[in-house]
Structure 1
Amino acid sequence: MTISAAQVKELRDISGVGMMECKKALTETDGDVEKALDLLRSNSALKAEKKSSRTAADGLIVIAQTSDYSALAEINSETDFAAKDSKFLEFCNEVKNHLEENRVESVEALNNDFNEKREALVQAIGENIQIRRLDLVENVGSVGTYLHSDSKLGALVSINIDNFDLAKDLAMHAAASNPSCITQDDIDKDILEREKAIYKKQAEESGKNEKIMEKMVEGKVRRFLEEVSFVSQPFVKNPDQKIQELLDESGAAIVMMSRFKVGEGIEVEKKDFASEVAEQLK
């Protein structure tokens, strides 16, 4: 059976899949567009499953805002090239719009909402695509947002008063300085104990007496807490002023914060060029 260009175009417009894949699907289904679409969807799921084990550590951050909450999401691709693909950008925009129209509480729920479209995108661009993380920040007083120009770093900060400019500055600071917690009391106890153990070992190797070693450990712990605690950090726009001092000027307090950087925490396996090409052909 002869497949017309119009049929191929129609299926391509519906599915977003390449011309050759569309023509092949139409040929296998005797030109039936609906059956061809079902076949492409089936192939998309299979292809997505095959690629799901591949590391996706690139991608983009999206920020969605409503009157009640703001959302931060990380959407991953394998390469920066794919992250700039128009189909990937369209997918990210759809996720953003969905988050603005629907309160989605977890990344699992968000993945369920977009699984079919994600599988189709994997089929279309040939890379593993994942919605990796989602965080919601409640709009208690004001929520500041920051999205870097390349959309690979984003932050949200909620404060308890109506001061948008302050919230925006705090979001920019969070993106730049990467605080681990809001106050020193919020630091994860396991992380703190691990740091203390490292500093204690370093002090013991110095050969100093016990009292001096204690002071060395105390000093390093104090500096560590100041570095990772949001309110203890020097303000990026005015390093002479601590964030807590900035908050005190307005009578504000940080309620919630969230910061995502694309690919952070993902271990990327280094491959030679031949291996990468072979992987792409699977």
Structure 2
Amino acid sequence: MAAITASMVAELRAKTDAPMMECKKALTEADGDMAKAEELLRVKLGTKAGKAASRVTAEGVVAAAINGTTGAMIEVNCETDFVTKNDSFLALANAAAKLIAEHNPADIAALGALPYEQETFGPTLEDVRKGLIGKIGENMSFRRFQRWANGGQLAAYLHGTRIGVVVEFDGHATAAKDVAMHDAAIKPGALTPADVP
């Protein structure tokens, strides 16, 4: 049986972002084999994600990504408001918004299948979501998203992480952002010219 050193545990933790004790247990079970320990952790974190899947995700954040004439907004939910402040959770939400704007997935399943540049938990966005569930211990879900690519300029305003507005405009970006802020504050009765009575 190989001796498990603190540096081995630290290296596995850096690779997988899993809790220290989980890393130590995986290394012990893998008899010091780093690759085998990584795979054990992926399976274990995936199992935790399966157990968490039935729990309600009533809290969450809104993230937006705007790139000139293309934009996206997504709502990513979790179980408690503590997780909404977690840097890894916020990074997941922002990455999802960016991927939606770039790739135009048809639905949540297609979004989850998109490649994610950070491969700590796996190569897709869904793998990363499941890995974060295992790491943080709470269920997380991509609830809904919207993508815009109508040819007009887009501006977004996020009020904290709970309210988001995207507006299409011709003219000044500052004025568009002010309109988006106003829309977030007053919840207008009409969102498009066709909606005005």
Shorter-chain TM-score category? 0.7 to 0.9
Identity %: 40
Aligned residues: 186
Superposition deviation, residue 25 in structure 1: 0.8
Equivalent residue for 2:177? 168
Q: Residues 66 and 156 of structure 2 are in contact (CA less than 8 Å); yes or no, is this contact kept in structure 1? A: no
| Change beyond 3 A, Cα 1:183–1:154 | closer
Q: Residues 70 and 139 of structure 1 are in contact (CA less than 8 Å); yes or no, is this contact kept in structure 2? A: no
| Residue in structure 2 matching 1:137, options 141, 144, 148 | 148
TM-score (norm 2): 0.83
Please give the per-residue CA displacement for 1:94-150, whole angstroms capped at 9, x wherever unaligned: 3344345544443332122311101110010000011111101225332221101x2
Superposition deviation, residue 62 in structure 1: 0.9
Deviating above 4 A after TM superposition, structure 1's stretches of 4 or more consecutive aligned residues are 183-186
Supply the AA of the counterpart residue of 1:144: A
CA distance in 2, matches of 1:62, 1:185: 27
- Segment drifting more, 31-40 vs 102-111: 102-111
Superposition deviation, residue 179 in structure 1: 3.9
- Within 5 Å, give how 1:39-188 maps onto structure 2: 39-99=40-100, 101-113=102-114, 114-148=125-159, 150-159=160-169, 161-179=170-188, 181-182=190-191, 186=195
- Within 5 Å, give how 1:23-34 maps onto structure 2: 23-34=24-35
Runs of 5+ unmatched residues, structure 1: 187-230, 233-282
Q: Residues 63 and 70 of structure 1 are in contact (CA less than 8 Å); yes or no, is this contact kept in structure 2? A: yes
CA distance in 1, matches of 2:11, 2:33: 11
Supply the AA of the counterpart residue of 1:78: E
Q: Residues 65 and 94 of structure 2 are in contact (CA less than 8 Å); yes or no, is this contact kept in structure 1? A: no
Runs of 5+ unmatched residues, structure 2: 115-124
**Which structure has the higher relative contact order (CA within 8 Å, separation 6+)?**
2
| Change beyond 3 A, Cα 1:184–1:100 | closer
* RMSD value, Cα: 2.2
CA distance in 2, matches of 1:98, 1:183: 26
Q: Residues 56 and 139 of structure 2 are in contact (CA less than 8 Å); yes or no, is this contact kept in structure 1? A: yes
CA distance in 1, matches of 2:175, 2:108: 29
TM-score (norm 1): 0.60
CA distance in 1, matches of 2:80, 2:92: 16
| Change beyond 3 A, Cα 1:106–1:178 | farther
Please give the per-residue CA displacement for 1:221-252, whole angstroms capped at 9, x wherever unaligned: xxxxxxxxxx57xxxxxxxxxxxxxxxxxxxx
Superposition deviation, residue 163 in structure 1: 3.6
Superposition deviation, residue 87 in structure 1: 2.3
